[in-house]
Amino acid sequence: MSVQERKQRERAERERLIVATARELAEQQGWDAVTTRRLAERIEYSQPVLYSHFRGKREIIGAVALQGAAELATAVRAATSAEDRPRARVVALARAYLDFAVRNPAVYDALFQLDGGLAYAQEDTPEPLKDAFAALLETLGEVTGDGVPPGLFTEVFWAALHGLATLTRAGRLLPEDAEPRMELLVDRLAVV
């Protein structure tokens, strides 16, 4: 291994450590607790080392969001691939999405609530974000109904899921109604 390859590997490892530490801290204490000073202390590198990887917290949030998008896509695909009927796939998608939001609140916030400097729904949208949307579209495209563009239907269904995830997390919806709420969403929106 050349010196250049070793340096690149070490840099990538430091970057992974920064992102993992930021994510862990955010999940434990919220994004307000994530500062470059605190991250530097936790990973035992100086703040200038952090700034050599990320210009600031915004880029760190973006890196966590991209990682989360890849994980969300994987979770949705794993859940839907286990089902053989369209309705069951849509229900599995909804459960996987809502479960992801509950299990990873800081990552979910990085993806959908905070400014990570990422472009959404644009030509220069990063690939992990496009893939997360594609994971939804793969299943929801089957149940759009006549004359409804699959991408548009996926956006509306995703918005409804996001609303359920956000309102539930904020304590605005009764937790015991989570399953009937999700079933209603599937039955009223999807053509299954």
Q: What is the pLDDT of residue 192?
A: 74
Cβ–Cβ under 8 Å, residues 101 and 165: yes
Q: What is the pLDDT of residue 33?
A: 96
E strand spans, the chain: none
Q: What is the pLDDT of residue 100?
A: 98
Q: What is the pLDDT of residue 3?
A: 86
Q: How far apart are CA 70 and CA 85, in angstroms?
A: 25
- Scanning the structure block, which residue is given the tokens 């340096």? 7
Residue among 78, 53, 60 at smallest CA distance from 24: 60
* The overall pTM is greater than 0.85: yes
Q: How far apart are CA 133 and CA 73, in angstroms?
A: 8
Q: For the chain, which residues score pLDDT lower than 50?
A: none
